[in-house]
């Protein structure tokens, strides 16, 4: 009977996942089951002794190594609470507040609409945990606004996709994958959120800089004054949003477990929302919003639950058959013991595994296959797990299979390839950040305060310089050799070491001063020539 029930449960999970998420993850799960069963018949490099049907089902259904493992357990406890919390925040006006705050903060600057997209996506991404959901929610407002002000559809779509993807990197919530990472590391979730803070800020600094430089280069419009809300009027509306989030952070920092913390934060959010109702009709409408939020949260829990259960099948079979060890040995063999090559191969593995998969599934698969190889090469566990986590997320904007870009293209009605490659350029800082914190753990708050501060500032300047090199503008339009020198200077700044930092700082500063002088001369020449013409 246990064998029959185990087979039925496994088939139900595979079919449920196929219906909700598509065929990719169930197909990977089936392949790993077949791999465990057909071990003796495989090529020597992948062969193992093989396991019978009884033992495979027993592992999947009767042990904590299979369906009922860590990932499923986290989805049923911690993740479920945060999904409900995110839905409550959105339905109590969080989405509108995010956009209004972003407009008030960045609307008047160059590339204002695109910067609004960056800020609102970063804010909303901290609670949504999904790049595609972030694109859909924010993109409906931001992409048409950018297009209306003269931004090309490809530019608008690329900004939204890249900004929305980075939302999962931004503490305090960081999506479901971060909670699973905390379980893998055996650390409090707060430690993961703190370690991820500087790399997440570097990601958005790179994107923000790319948007600013592109706006200056293309003379893109700012937001009209009439659509920019007053910060004074916006802040009072944010109580239902920031009071619960602040309480959540405080409780977790105080040592409370995430489940208790998010329960209190959710209760406070609901109480504040209902308490602000001025009439029975408004109270009734707000109560219905809470019901809708719970419905949305419940649907999200179903999605995450089947995803985690199916991913746990893969983890169980990978551990049972030793595939994770074999993949780690393969990465180590190909890299010949060189950390840089191992990081590159691990990046490729993570991007491939993440194609078409939600972040949580992509991270779990990549962590079980590629993570151990980095740890064997001496990378600290936190850096190794975050490295895998970042590239599992960034697969959402990496062509040819990039779910976040697909969603943005559908809204912007833009060319897919142009949008995809432009988004990749804008998100270059995101691809650099994982390499940075592996070679420079001080970016994960490992080390003395002066060391952390210096490396953070130097890395920030390096990310901005690289954005200028990629977008073709820094203090003025780049000449080809200036872009090359900017890129070299950025790489020197990003490489740990005082000498390389000083050389890079000198190169980047010299180019900026030279370009600003050239820009000033050109600007002064325009009025003179206009006067002569008159």
For the residues 21-35, what does the mean pLDDT come to? 86
Domain boundaries, the chain: 70-439, 449-526
pLDDT (tens digit per residue) in 338-388: 778 888 888 887 887 776 566 777 788 778 777 777 888 788 889 999 998
- pLDDT of residue 496 exceeding 90, the answer is no
Distance (Å, whole) CA 534 – CA 352: 62
pLDDT (tens digit per residue) in 83-140: 788 788 778 876 667 667 767 776 667 767 677 777 777 766 665 556 776 776 677 6
Report pLDDT for 488: 92
For the residues 224-238, what does the mean pLDDT come to? 68
For the residues 155-167, what does the mean pLDDT come to? 86
Report pLDDT for 238: 65
| Average pLDDT value for the chain | 82
CB 182 within 8 A of CB 196: no
pLDDT above 70 as % of the chain:
87
With cut-offs at 50, 70 and 90, classify the pLDDT of residue 8.
Answer: very high
Report pLDDT for 95: 62
| Bigger pLDDT: 121 vs 210 | 210
Most confident by average pLDDT, 122-126, 217-221, 249-253, 488-492: 488-492
- Residue 156 to residues 198, 220, 403, 415, 416, Cα–Cα distance (Å): 26, 12, 16, 11, 12
Report pLDDT for 236: 64
How crowded is residue 114: how many other Cβ atoms within 10 Å of its Cβ?
30
The backbone torsions φ and ψ at residue 477, rounded to the nearest 5 degrees and listed phi first, read -60, 135
Report pLDDT for 432: 85
158-188: burial string, b at 16+ Cβ within 10 Å, e else? bbbbbbbbbbbbbbbbbbbbbbbbbbbbeee
Least confident range from 29-33, 51-55, 427-431: namely 427-431
With cut-offs at 50, 70 and 90, classify the pLDDT of residue 178.
Answer: confident
For the residues 42-49, what does the mean pLDDT come to? 83
Nearest CA to 149 out of 220, 89, 215 is that of 220
pLDDT (tens digit per residue) in 234-284: 666 666 677 887 888 788 777 777 788 889 988 998 998 888 888 888 889
């Amino acid at each position: 009977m246990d064998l029959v029930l185990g087979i039925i449960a496994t088939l139900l999970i595979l079919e449920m996942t196929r219906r909700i998420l598509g065929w990719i993850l169930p197909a990977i799960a089936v392949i790993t089951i077949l791999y465990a069963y057909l071990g003796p018949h495989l090529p020597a490099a992948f062969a193992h002794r093989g396991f019978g049907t009884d033992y495979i089902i027993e592992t999947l259904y009767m042990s904590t190594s299979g369906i009922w493992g860590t990932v499923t357990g986290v989805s049923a406890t911690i993740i479920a609470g945060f999904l409900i919390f995110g839905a409550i925040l959105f339905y109590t006006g969080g989405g509108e507040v995010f956009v209004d705050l972003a407009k008030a903060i960045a609307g008047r600057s160059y590339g204002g609409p695109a910067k609004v997209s960056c800020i609102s996506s970063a804010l909303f991404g901290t609670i949504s945990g999904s790049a595609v959901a972030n694109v859909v929610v924010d993109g409906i407002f931001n992409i048409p606004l950018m297009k209306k002000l003269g931004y090309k559809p490809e530019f608008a779509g690329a900004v939204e996709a890249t900004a929305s993807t980075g939302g999962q990197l931004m503490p305090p919530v960081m999506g479901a994958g971060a909670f699973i990472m905390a379980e893998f590391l055996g650390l409090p979730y707060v430690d993961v959120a703190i370690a991820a803070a500087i790399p997440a800020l570097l990601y958005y600094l790179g994107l923000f800089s790319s948007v600013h430089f592109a706006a200056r280069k293309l003379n893109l419009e700012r937001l009209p004054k009439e659509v920019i809300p007053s910060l004074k009027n916006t802040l009072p509306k944010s109580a239902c949003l920031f009071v619960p989030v602040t309480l959540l952070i405080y409780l977790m920092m105080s040592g409370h477990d995430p489940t208790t913390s998010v329960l209190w934060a959710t209760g406070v959010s609901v109480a504040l929302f209902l308490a602000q109702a001025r009439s029975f009709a408004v109270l009734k409408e707000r109560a219905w919003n809470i019901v809708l939020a719970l419905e949305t949260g419940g649907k999200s829990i179903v999605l995450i639950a089947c995803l985690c259960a199916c991913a746990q099948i893969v983890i169980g079979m990978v551990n049972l058959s030793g595939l994770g060890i074999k993949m780690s040995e393969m990465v180590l063999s190909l890299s010949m013991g060189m950390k840089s090559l191992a990081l590159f191969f691990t990046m490729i593995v993570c991007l491939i595994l993440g194609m078409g998969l939600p972040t949580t599934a992509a991270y779990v698969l990549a962590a079980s296959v590629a993570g151990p190889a980095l740890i064997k090469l001496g990378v600290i566990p936190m850096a190794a797990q975050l490295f895998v986590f970042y590239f599992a997320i960034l697969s959402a904007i990496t062509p040819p299979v990039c779910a976040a870009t697909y969603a943005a293209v559908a809204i912007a009605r833009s060319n897919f390839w142009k949008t995809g490659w432009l988004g990749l350029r804008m998100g270059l800082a995101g691809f650099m950040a994982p390499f940075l914190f592996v070679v420079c753990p001080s970016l994960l708050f490992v080390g003395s305060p002066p060391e952390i501060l210096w490396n953070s500032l130097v890395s920030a300047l390096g990310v901005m310089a690289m954005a200028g090199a990629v977008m073709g503008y820094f203090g003025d339009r780049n000449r080809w050799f200036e872009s090359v020198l900017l890129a070299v200077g950025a790489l020197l700044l990003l490489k740990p070491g005082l000498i390389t930092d000083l050389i890079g700082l000198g190169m980047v500063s010299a180019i900026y001063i030279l370009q600003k002088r050239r820009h000033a001369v050109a600007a002064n020449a325009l009025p003179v020539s206009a006067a002569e013409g008159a």
